[in-house]
Structure 1
Amino acid sequence: MKLVTYRINHTPARLGFVEGEMIVDAEKLGHIKQSPLPDNMLDFIDLGIDGINHAIQLLNTATKEELLDCSIPMGNATLMAPIPKPRKNIFGIGLNYTEHVAESARTLDTSKELPQEPVVFSKPTSAVIGPEENIIHNQKITKQLDYEVELAVIIGKRGKNVPKEEAMDYVYGYTVINDISARDCRRAGQWIVSKGQDTFAPMGPVLVTKADIEDPHNLNLSLKLNGEQRQSSNTKYMLFNINDLIHDLSTVFTLEPGDIIATGTPAGVGAGMTPQSFMWPGDVVEATVEGIGTLRNYVVDSEAAN
């Protein structure tokens, strides 16, 4: 099942289900079928698998006329980040692909040794933007604006000290995140200023529920900058897989429905190129994960964004 948060013009955000080239409005479908559904993503995630099954049942039993009454063409909607305002910071995982560890050691003064446990940072909720939105480049702060395509995992139920073998039971679904990073803004080894600036967490275009991704540990992921392929890899090359990450994070933090884990990026970032090649105003960046879709965003100067 593909879920979206969308709006029409400047109306409030709505929850929708993707059916071909149409978006079925969740709340309106529930009203027509006299069986309520939430109007926003977080409330729907709180319902867990029961909510998904309920929505599928309503979609499968709706007549063509009923679906038309609560649907709009995808092209008439503006897609937002699937979770436009997460309840808490996004969990980011650094140095989680072997080749990215190597290129980071060459160019970013990180250790050349493979991490023995996940490297965890966070991105504030204020960093989240959706598809087709602008990444703000403040040249007074950074001259090294970089990209990182990542598979993002959405948590579906509360968990603490989750065993690795049970970790996938806590997954609700997946989306794409572009972990934007200002490489010259790291402070004494701390990454949040580098990675947490406004607009530095593009997310989308859809949230795909767990049942529709057969194997999240075998998904191609790639990134293009202005049409040029920069990153291309597969999630099977993660050093710490999703089970590892959920287990590790849950020993420190209580995981809750709607929490987001950005699972790390492969090699090919701008900082790793020779010569280094960063993003500048006018650039178009496209991050793709197999089975989910392509997240496109535009880099704009901070002065132009004001």
Structure 2
Amino acid sequence: MKLVTYALDGAEHVGVMTDEGIIPLSILNSDMPDEMHAVVAGGSVLLNQIADAIIASSPTPLDPTDVALLAPFPRPRRNVFCVGKNYYAHAREFEVSGFDSSSAGQQIPEVPIIFTKATTSVVGSGDTVESALDPTGSVDYEGELAVVIGTGGRGINSTDAMKHVYGYTIINDVTSRDIQRQHKQWFLGKSMDTFCPMGPVITTADELHDIRSIQLTTRVNGEVRQNASVKDLIFDIPRLIETLSKSMTLEPGDLIATGTPAGVGIGFTPPRYLQPGDHVEVEISGIGVLANPIG
């Protein structure tokens, strides 16, 4: 199932994205939640109720062009958890770029490198990334698969971790490279407003049986810059969940951006930063295309 958050007549709603359009949860049953965190907290029980209601009522879908599609979580309840240097080739390109202050000469990390992006950085597919907010003019893209936590918990073992995954979405971990380097940490350069495009949908885990087989492709103005398989992650999804939950409770709706593959702007000589007028698309098989203009 593919779930979306959209705006209509000034209010936010949750719906199911189908080939025919968007089916609002509110027209299926007035008792169903109409906010994504609550939907995720409802787990598989609620998903089964939604599927049964669609079959029973055969509702008329909304035309997606008649609504404003938002990020699945327009304002996450907690910062987005992110993972640095989690593809082998990207770890190497980042190390030699001169922008890596996370380690001293260590290309491949021994443990997951975790940082966060502020909730206020989130925007939806189609929204403009405001590059002018970066005074250094060093805006870069990072296409990433993001995990949506369903059942929360602490001390989750890697062997049980996938039971805690509700679904997946796409994140573009937009970054000011010079701010990242100047402050010798990643939070400020990655948390500027509009620097976390997310969406366009959440694909539930039951639809992506072999998550390692899916492909991630990032295009800038139609040119392929990143193209990699999730199987190339250094630390896989179970390891990331185990690491994060070791001493901290994960909650329904938490987001884990799993890292970006090689091909980011700083991997070129000279760096190929994003410019106003550019258009970035991050496509992940089974989920869709996250597309954003650069303003």
Question: In 1, distance between residues paired with 2:247 and 2:142?
Answer: 25
2:110 corresponds in structure 1 to: 116
Residue 54 of structure 1: SS of its match in structure 2? Answer: helix
Contact 1:270 1:276 in 2 (8 A): yes
1:43 has 2:42 as partner: no
Choose from 244, 268, 271 the match for 1:249: 244
Question: In 1, distance between residues paired with 2:110 and 2:198?
Answer: 28
Q: Could you list the runs of 5+ residues in structure 1 that have no partner in the other structure?
A: 301-306
Choose from 67, 70, 89 the match for 1:99: 89
Amino acid at match of 2:166: Y
1:74 corresponds in structure 2 to: 64
Stretch of structure 1 that moved more, 185-194 or 232-241: 185-194
Amino acid at match of 1:5: T
Amino acid at match of 1:2: K
Amino acid at match of 1:221: L
1:2 corresponds in structure 2 to: 2
TM-score if structure 1 supplies the norm length? Answer: 0.92
Residue 251 of structure 2: SS of its match in structure 1? Answer: coil
Choose from 257, 262, 276 the match for 1:281: 276
1:213 corresponds in structure 2 to: 208
Amino acid at match of 1:82: P
2:168 corresponds in structure 1 to: 174
Amino acid at match of 1:27: S
CA deviations on 1:38-69 (whole Å, 9 max, x unpaired) are 11111111111111111111112223xxx02x
Q: CA RMSD in A?
A: 1.2
1:192 has 2:192 as partner: no
TM-score if structure 2 supplies the norm length? Answer: 0.95
Question: In 2, distance between residues paired with 1:148 and 1:109?
Answer: 14
How many correspondences in the alignment? 290
Stretch of structure 1 that moved more, 14-23 or 90-99: 14-23
2:26 corresponds in structure 1 to: 27
Cα offset for 1:142? Answer: 2.3
Contact 1:226 1:285 in 2 (8 A): yes
1:144 has 2:143 as partner: no
Amino acid at match of 2:168: Y
1:292 corresponds in structure 2 to: 287
Question: In 2, distance between residues paired with 1:123 and 1:264?
Answer: 13
Contact 1:287 1:295 in 2 (8 A): yes
1:84 corresponds in structure 2 to: 74
CA deviations on 1:90-116 (whole Å, 9 max, x unpaired) are 001000000001100111343443101
The structure-2 alpha-carbon separation of the partners of 1:197 and 1:252, relative to structure 1 and needing over 3 Å to count, comes to farther
Cα offset for 1:148? Answer: 0.4
Question: In 2, distance between residues paired with 1:291 and 1:169?
Answer: 19
Contact 1:102 1:112 in 2 (8 A): no
2:225 corresponds in structure 1 to: 230
Amino acid at match of 2:73: I
Q: Could you list the runs of 5+ residues in structure 2 that have no partner in the other structure?
A: none
Contact 1:2 1:207 in 2 (8 A): yes
Contact 2:134 2:176 in 1 (8 A): no
